[in-house]
Structure 1
Amino acid sequence: MQKNFLVISALGEDRPGIVNELAKLIAETGCSIEDSRMTVLGGDFAIILLVEGRWNELAKLEAGFPSAARRLNLAIHAKRTTPLQRESNLLPYTVEVVSIDHPGIVHQLANFFSSREINIRDLTTTSYSATHTGTPMFQVQMTIDISAAIHIARLREEFMDLCDQLNLDAIIEPAKA
């Protein structure tokens, strides 16, 4: 049986109970959360969910969004999607970068991988102050999919050269299962 999926994004002022209310709405329609990302960004709470259910359950869930958005004071957007089709020749790698914060870090990293036709599957960034000095720091963690046809040692060398030029501390290694 074909699975049906809905990607939901929600954004609103952070407060206790948002996750509970959305999870309750999803459960009451017979759907289930397959994957999720939730975080506080500034004073807002951002949610991205992949929900699975029968087509009629997803339709019922979608129909409940306008009232849920008003009740929870959230901006909710939903889009039907298809199951992820992973290519068998792709190898997942983890990239971690830490640096003194400056504009353009994400763009430079994304450009490096994009120019080599390497897909960024997951990306998280964090800004923080260094413990003893208070220096503004920036951290990037990403998962990329590298084709088995790419020469990994050469890619790693080119990536580390870029990081040296940009004064970034970096690691690129196979993703742990």
Structure 2
Amino acid sequence: MHNNLLVISALGEDRPGLVDELTRLISEAGCNIEESRMTVLGGEFAAIALVAGRWNQLAKLETTLPGLQRRLGLTVETRRTERSRREGELLPYTVEVVCLDQPGVVHQLSNFFGLREIAIRDLATTTYSAAYTGTPMFSVHMTVDVPARMQIARLREDFLDFCDELNLDAVIEPAKA
């Protein structure tokens, strides 16, 4: 059974084969990737993965990662972890926001949820040019954990009012499984 967990983060200059090399090392150690995010930001490859395995498999993986780091010029960090133990009943909600590209949007959104003690579980942003006009646009996708005791209708109303004030087009809805 894979009940030991390791988080691996890797960052380095992007080039073909990085995902193959990293996942091969994980597989050869007998470990399994449970969750991961891998992307290119600017000219840099960035990856973070939650890897499961028996303690000896994770130890083997940890000893082989420095070689990968040297060979591929990556900065690799690892940290042992445990399964998440979220306090109380939490309801996952998806938040989608689109607006003109402007500084501070992520901070304003995180502050809105933070003040209400709503944790952000996942966050992804992107910039793009609007069709036809080429206007710089900004998109935010996040998953938040809403305490079950919270009045969802009130939260939704407050959130949409908040977004209207900032001229953000937004949707908040229960996350789909």
TM-score (norm 1): 0.97
Offset, 1:60: 1.0
Alignment of 1:1-177 (within 5 A): 3-87=3-87, 89-177=89-177
Report deviation, 1:86.
3.7
Superposition CA RMSD, Å:
1.1
Amino acid at match of 1:17: G
Quote the Cα distance in structure 2 between the aligned partners of 1:2 and 1:64. Answer: 19
- Distance, in Å, in 1 between the alignment partners of 2:2 and 2:173 is 35
Distance 2:101 2:13 in 1: 26
Q: CA deviation at 1:65?
A: 1.3
CA shift digits 1:104-160 (9 cap, x unpaired): 000000000000000000000001111111111000000001111101111111100
Q: Which runs of 5+ in 1 are unaligned?
A: none
**Which segments of structure 1 move beyond 4 Å, counting only runs of 4 or more?**
none
* 3-state SS in 1 of match to 2:138: strand
Number of aligned pairs?
Answer: 177
Partner amino acid for 1:139?
Answer: S
TM-score using structure 2 length: 0.97
AA paired with 2:65?
Answer: F
